[in-house]
Chains A and B, each alone.
Chain A
């Protein structure tokens, strides 16, 4: 994420949340899972949906819609869990759908547009323009922290 600018192009996973498309570098993605049984963990933040059994590893799940304070959607066929690894943490993100793997040229990434009031702008590290699509690059450290 941090050295994305230095590279000529980066590979990202593109996913859908509400009506926008977001991107996470492939290097941080461990896998994409279909929605499975989530065990609720009491006394945690609202956006922490609970934990799942990911092939024997208990993995916490964060609902990105709730994290970004977007309206809650009902679970659909396309809903996916993207497993992210960051530093020593493994966390799953619930997204509306995971669409694509794309190469983004580094020079197409622009810093976050200065539109105040847009949803969760502190979680955005930049935007990439690709033909007619606009991809929002997530700032993973900020999405995951702080959790107190």
Chain B
């Protein structure tokens, strides 16, 4: 289909417009009298309507249209902004988002939105009863028209009515197997022009001639002939499947006129009837209603498919490997000029690597921007007053991390809102401001990005957590005695733990915070909690800047090289074989006063070994998973290196204790050890 190439663009842009809608709606809620904001929302909705109608997503266009009507009424001060009205508008935006997501996932964007549509209509008409004059314009809202007319076209049609012409909107559908679409279009137009005048067509005539449409096109047409005659004539054209002729009415125009932002009349009407509780004076309306073309100044950017960046990255990695070879050759040959060239090449490649990596970086804003709406909804559902502050939304993270981090953050924010921030009454009793604050903060530090969720709520009840953890068997009473406050706080992340006494709909659907912890750890990050009772909590997530390049320790086992991620290594150590002790068939060592179990990678990975050697010293890498430690016994350490993470492909999945692979400087593949799988 012709539209496919535009589909991606359509989805991207629709998402942007919907995002703009939600942002402005939130703003509007704070300043209900600022009509310029309504203008902004209206513009986004209008563009969205146009785009979706062009792409043939009727349901999407229709709902946007209904929403637009309400917005228009607000903008023209016929309806006053109330939280209830905004609820409905938010609901429609949610529906629209779901529809767009549906389309993005290969669906047709259809969805049953009748209840929302009914509510929108109710708002629209309910208020227009008061504003009598305006009501006529609103009440006759026609079924979404496929064509929109500008001032000139409207005048032409209005004049033709005066001269007893009929105006029709004609929808022509060609057969799907139609081969010469342009020719059929030409024939249709020839018939039309014999009997009257074509005012407008959608798509435009040029596009029709270039066959830039599917099967459907629309024509606005004035004629003296009757609708039935026109329909019959047009159906004579071969390969035309269906012709629908709908008369254009003057009322339709009144509606369109309003849409075209000709609002002066309405304002006049309002002065006469002095409508209800409107706050701002009607005289202000015309200037305010004209949307100011603000918006960010367009950066010069292009959209690039992430796959292409991956390919670029792959090719670059090839270069890195070849550079390694070249370097070793240069050292052997010891030729001055060759050495210099190789050196210069290395420097350029260093810069290139930085650029390629930064190209994959996306601001966390893309994840954060859905939270204001979520908080609003949550606080209404829970009858709490919550203010969300977002700091550092411009902080950049690798695209792959961004894709994964959304759900854990949703979980944590829901948790803060539900369990953290107290009811307004409780807060007042505690001497806190009625409105709770949730701060979402992102910042860079070293090779990591930190995301913090801070609330000024109740904090974690240490005793309650302990009691629960012991009753659920997460820890024993003895263990609990030696635990620090921080360790106790972090118990709420343990699996099989949920502190809410009552399971609410918001958080605690049986899925605990342990899922969050697992996800974050699988991304190579970790999460910690700081909390003071009755003051608040901070959930801090540490994430690697990128998933594609990580620091590892290369180790050798017999002839094989394995990579252990530095993020899980605590330290390396060389121990005497005589220091290895046995405890319940498990070899352990005493490491700084702690008993650490040993894992012999040689056995785990079934490395073919020539002979059993009895070394006096063994090399051990101490790794951790949360609070647990383990010592990985290897033959020797090679050193620390930045490597490019690669997957093993779709054929080899779920390999035990191997999380991926990388290509070493010599072109060979080394496997990356998944320490989390090695520690029980």
Q: A residues within 8 Å of B by Cβ?
A: 37, 39-44, 48, 50-53, 55-60, 87-91, 144, 147
Contacts and interface: CB of A to CB of B under 8 A. Distances in A.
B646 interface: yes
B595 to A, nearest CB: 27
B650 A41 contact: no
A88 B667 contact: no
Contacts of B649: 57-60, 89-91
B560 A40 contact: yes
A143 to B, nearest CB: 11
A89 B648 contact: no
Contact of B667 (A44, A53, A59): A53
A48 B652 contact: yes
21 contacts: A37-B667, A39-B560, A39-B668, A40-B560, A41-B648, A42-B658, A44-B652, A51-B648, A51-B652, A53-B669, A56-B315, A56-B317, A56-B321, A56-B663, A57-B649, A58-B648, A59-B649, A88-B650, A89-B649, A89-B651, A144-B651
A56 B607 CA distance: 25
A37 B651 contact: no
A53 B669 CA distance: 6
B668 A147 contact: no
Contacts of B647: 58
A57 B655 contact: no
B656 interface: yes
A59 B661 CA distance: 10
Contacts of B655: 41-44
A60 B648 contact: yes
Contacts, number: 78
Given A40-B560, A52-B669, A57 B646 contact: yes
Contact of A42 (B606, B648, B669): B606
Contacts of A52: 669
A39 B314 contact: no
A91 B656 CA distance: 20
B591 interface: no
Contact of A43 (B314, B560, B605, B663): B605
B309 to A, nearest CB: 14
A67 B318 CA distance: 31
Interface residues of B, number: 28
Contacts of B667: 37, 53
Contacts of B661: 39, 51, 58
A58 B606 contact: no
Contacts of A41: 648, 652, 655, 658, 671
A8 to B, nearest CB: 27
Nearest to B561: A39
Nearest to B560: A40
A93 to B, nearest CB: 12
B580 interface: no
Nearest to B311: A56
B656 A42 contact: yes
A84 B670 CA distance: 22
Interface string B631-653: 00000000000000011111110
B604 interface: yes
A84 to B, nearest CB: 10
A37 B314 contact: no
Contacts of A37: 667-669
Interface in B312-339: 314-315, 317-318, 321
A88 B647 CA distance: 13
A3 to B, nearest CB: 23
Contacts of A55: 318
Interface in B556-578: 560
B669 A58 contact: yes
A60 to B, nearest CB: 5
Contact of A51 (B605, B656, B669): B669
Contacts of A43: 605-606, 655-657
B658 A147 contact: no
B421 to A, nearest CB: 45
A51 B669 CA distance: 7
B652 to A, nearest CB: 5
A147 B651 contact: yes
B241 to A, nearest CB: 32
A37 B317 CA distance: 18
Nearest to B667: A53
Contacts of B321: 53, 56
A90 B650 CA distance: 8
A110 B245 CA distance: 60
A58 B551 CA distance: 19
A91 B651 CA distance: 7
Given A37-B667, A53-B668, A56-B663, 13 more contacts: A39-B669, A39-B671, A43-B605, A43-B606, A50-B669, A51-B648, A52-B669, A53-B663, A56-B321, A58-B669, A87-B650, A91-B649, A91-B651
Contacts of A144: 651
Contact of B652 (A53, A56, A60, A87): A60
A56 to B, nearest CB: 4
Given A58-B646, A58-B661, A89-B650, A39 B670 contact: yes
Among A42, A44, A60, A147, chain B packs the most CB atoms within 10 A around the CB of: A42
Contacts of A42: 604-607, 655-658, 671
Contacts of A89: 649-651
B317 to A, nearest CB: 5
A147 B649 CA distance: 13
A144 B669 CA distance: 22
B318 A56 contact: yes
B656 to A, nearest CB: 5
Nearest to B652: A60
A20 B661 CA distance: 35
Nearest to B661: A58
A55 B319 CA distance: 10
A88 B651 CA distance: 9
Contacts of B669: 37, 39, 50-53, 58
Interface in B171-191: none
Given A41-B658, A42-B606, A51-B661, A56 B668 contact: no
Among B647, B656, B671, chain A packs the most CB atoms within 10 A around the CB of: B671
A116 B15 CA distance: 60
Interface string B588-601: 00000000000000
Contacts of A39: 560, 661, 668-671
Nearest to B647: A58
B579 to A, nearest CB: 27
Counting from the closest, the 5 A-B pairs by CB-CB distance are A42-B605, A39-B669, A56-B314, A58-B661, A89-B651
A13 B470 CA distance: 65
A20 B517 CA distance: 54
A43 to B, nearest CB: 5
Nearest to A43: B656
